[in-house]
Amino acid sequence: MCPVCRARFRGASLCSRCGADLTAVMTLAAAAWRLRQAARHALAAGEFARVCELAAEAQQTCSTPSGRGLEGLGQWLAGQDSEPSGKVELREEAIS
């Protein structure tokens, strides 16, 4: 989403509505996606502490609802969250 006018990304480095340069935002979003993908692979391998690390780094880079779910799942599986602070919603895209 464009940080200036809140328009949706359309796959271009310039916002179609306001003309803002979205290169930095898109770079961060792509880096966070790669971290979440690595966390998904760690989840499949049963490396739950690694899931926590990667998902937390992804959330710090570019926070998303599915990333929050992946991070919560990793914490729960690793035993780091003995008292859940709220509902964790896991969507298919968070694990596939």
Scanning the structure block, which residue is given the tokens 């464009």?
A: 2
Q: What is the pLDDT of residue 11?
A: 82
Whether the pTM exceeds 0.95: the reply is no
Average pLDDT for residues 24-45, to the nearest whole number? 95
Count of other CB atoms within 10 angstroms of residue 62: 18
Is 55 inside any structural domain? Answer: yes
- CB-CB contact of 56 with 38 (8 Å): no
The average pLDDT across 59-68 equals 94
* Sign of the four-CA dihedral 42, 45, 47, 52: positive
Average predicted confidence (pLDDT) for the chain = 87
Q: Is residue 26 part of a domain?
A: no
How many domains is the chain built from?
1
The reported pLDDT for the residue numbered 93 is 55
Residue 84 has pLDDT above 80, yes or no: no
Structural domain range at position 88: 35-95
Q: How far is CA 65 from the centre of its chain?
A: 7
The structure tokens listed for 51 are 């899931």
Determine, yes or no, domain membership for 23. no
In a domain, 11, yes or no: no
